[in-house]
Homo-oligomer: A and B are copies of this chain.
Amino acid sequence: MLSIEEHELHTRCLIKYLMFVNGKFCKDPKMATANDFSFSGLNIPRNTGNRVGSNVTLLNVDQIPGLNTLGISLARIDYAPNGGLNPPHTHPRATEILVVVEGTLYVGFVTSNPENRFISKVLYPGDVFVFPFGLIHFQLNIAKTPAVVFAGLSSQNPGTITIANAVFGSDPLINPDVLAKAFHLDIKIVNYLQKLFGGNSE
């Protein structure tokens, strides 16, 4: 049988899940308040003082429990001036549509094999762009001022796979020979990249 802690963990997962399942509340009165459907503070600029110079604040079903089964979430993304980059990534369960609030962004996505077409554009405030379901995409701040966007994603839990981190920084690390061959890189470069991206496994 499960321990108390395991049981409580699973029960909490369960309660959250059942809230809206099939469009039915399980009628837990604590669930049905405005707080389950709201979140505050998305007006506050995020710290972009990291290696890539960007910061994603995603509000999914973990932050807003009322989103469960409703198929949508929302994000704010901040970009540092002069090259702040939301690096190439995919959302395994969502399309993304963003609107630029301020700044100038070079954005794009790549279609699947065999074409691998790169569809890109420079965006200014008020511009909107769509990144289709599951495709690799990125945004780069090409101006001297910060940039900010809001984005809708078509899942209550879209997930994010940052390509560099998943490939070179997984836990545990992927056998470097695989990556050297796949990316046509010298094994020493792979080792170097794995040390760099694999920090969270040390």
Contact = CB atoms under 8 A, between A and B. Distances in A.
Interface of A: 1-2, 4, 6-11, 13-15, 17-18, 20-24, 26-28, 32-34, 37-44, 51-52, 59, 61, 64, 66-74, 76, 83, 85, 87-88, 90-97, 99-101, 106, 108, 110-121, 123-136, 138, 140, 150-157, 159-175, 177-179, 181-185, 189, 193, 196-197, 200
Given A117-B171, A135-B161, A129 B38 contact: yes
A95 B71 contact: yes
A118 B174 contact: yes
Given A118-B174, A126-B44, A153-B72, A18 B22 contact: no
Given A59-B128, A92-B23, A136 B161 contact: yes
Contacts of A132: 20, 37, 66, 70
Nearest to A172: B118
Contact of A74 (B61, B97, B117, B175): B97
